[in-house]
Amino acid sequence: MSTHASEPLIPREDSGGDLSPGPSAAPAAPFSSDFLYWIALDFAGSDPADIERFNRFYDETHVPEVLSRHSGFAAAHRYALRRPDPRGDFGGGYLTAYEVQDEQAVTEYLTATTAGEPYSTDPPFRPELLTTRWRVVYEKVAETAPSTGTPDLIYIIGIDPPSDIADDELAEFDAFYTNTHMPEAVSNAGLSRGTRYKVRRALEHPAPGCPFYLVVYELAGDTDELLAETQRKMGREGPWWTQGPTSWTRRTTPWRLWYRHISSTPQPPPPPAAHRQP
């Protein structure tokens, strides 16, 4: 008999009204918005001082510039690679995930990214030290529970259904993924939460292309022992996993990566309105 998470799945809902954070608002929680834009990159510097300068510039200059230029970006959360995919070098050393509020914000960003002004540069950002792996806009499909805060670790998996899958099989694949497999993974491995996405626009990704689906699992705690135990639970076979339809058993997972959270930046408050003197 399969084990299902007790909490109901929560489908993505359309947001209404102005969701911009106020002057004292905390950053929007990770994986809480309708859309996600993330960038994976490598920084080739090995000197600890260069790495520290790179991270400081990214957190204090680059991310605030991006957020101020795109008001629909509610927050940015940065992650560092914690454990790579044992099958190969498939993930960047750093991951920046921007919480994007709604459809309008996505459209505005995609328009601006092809004709926008360049951002500030700094020696750590010189091209020979930086390699961009991914730039992808994702749309949320479902989550096992609302976000309750910032996870210490995230486990991200890119998933592709079979290339020859029929429409009815894809619907069955999606239903099983959302309603059975993701809740089972959260429950069986002791994870905090799972969130599913599908690709809205892949702006940059190495061959053979960006996986169509993304799942993000959140984990509280960051120790080698906890990570190893969680991976063991995720990989074990047994009656606690439902096998799923044939289309599910034929899926591929181009990458499986662990990242640790390193920083959060909120959308800055709007500047105060100017008042004309009488």
C-alpha–C-alpha distance, residues 163 and 57, integer Å = 41
Assign 65 to helix, strand or coil. Answer: helix
pLDDT at 256: 96
Amino acid at 23: P
The angle at the Cα of 116, spanning 110 to 119, to the nearest 5 degrees, equals 115
HSE toward the beta carbon, residue 223, CA cutoff 13 A: 4
Residue-wise over 42-57: b if at least 16 C-beta within 10 A, else e? ebebeeeeeeeebbeb
pLDDT at 128: 77
Assign 233 to helix, strand or coil. Answer: helix
pLDDT at 273: 58
Nearest CA-CA partner of 224 in 215, 232, 213:
232
Q: Which residue carries 């951002």 as its tokens?
A: 119
Tens of pLDDT, residues 138-171: 999 999 999 989 999 999 999 999 999 999 999 9
Assign 127 to helix, strand or coil. Answer: helix
Assign 236 to helix, strand or coil. Answer: coil
* List of residues 6+ apart from 35 with CB closer than 8 A: 99, 100, 101, 102, 103, 105, 106, 137, 138, 139, 140, 200
Structure tokens given for 244 = 């799923």
**DSSP result, 155-223:** EEEEEE--TT--HHHHHHHHHHIIIIIHHHHHHHHT-SEEEEEEEEEEEE--TT---SEEEEEEES---
Assign 94 to helix, strand or coil. Answer: strand
pLDDT per residue of the chain (278 residues) written in tens, 0 to 9? 333 333 334 444 444 444 443 444 578 899 999 999 999 999 998 889 889 999 999 999 999 999 999 989 999 999 999 999 999 998 999 999 999 999 999 999 998 876 666 777 776 566 678 899 999 999 999 999 999 899 999 999 999 999 999 999 999 999 999 999 999 999 999 999 999 999 999 999 998 899 999 999 999 999 999 999 999 999 888 788 999 999 999 999 999 999 999 999 999 877 665 444 54
pLDDT at 20: 40
Q: Which residues pair with 142 in a beta bridge?
A: 11, 196
| Ramachandran assignment for 190, one of left (phi > 0), alpha (psi -120 to 50 degrees), beta (any other) | left
Assign 67 to helix, strand or coil. Answer: helix
Q: Which residue carries 């959140």 as its tokens?
A: 218
| Ramachandran assignment for 149, one of left (phi > 0), alpha (psi -120 to 50 degrees), beta (any other) | left
Is the Cα torsion angle 125, 131, 135, 140 positive or negative in sign? Answer: negative
Pick the CATH number of 28-266 from 1.10.510.10, 1.10.1840.10, 3.40.50.720, 3.30.70.100: 3.30.70.100
Structure tokens given for 112 = 């601006």
Domain boundaries, the chain: 28-266
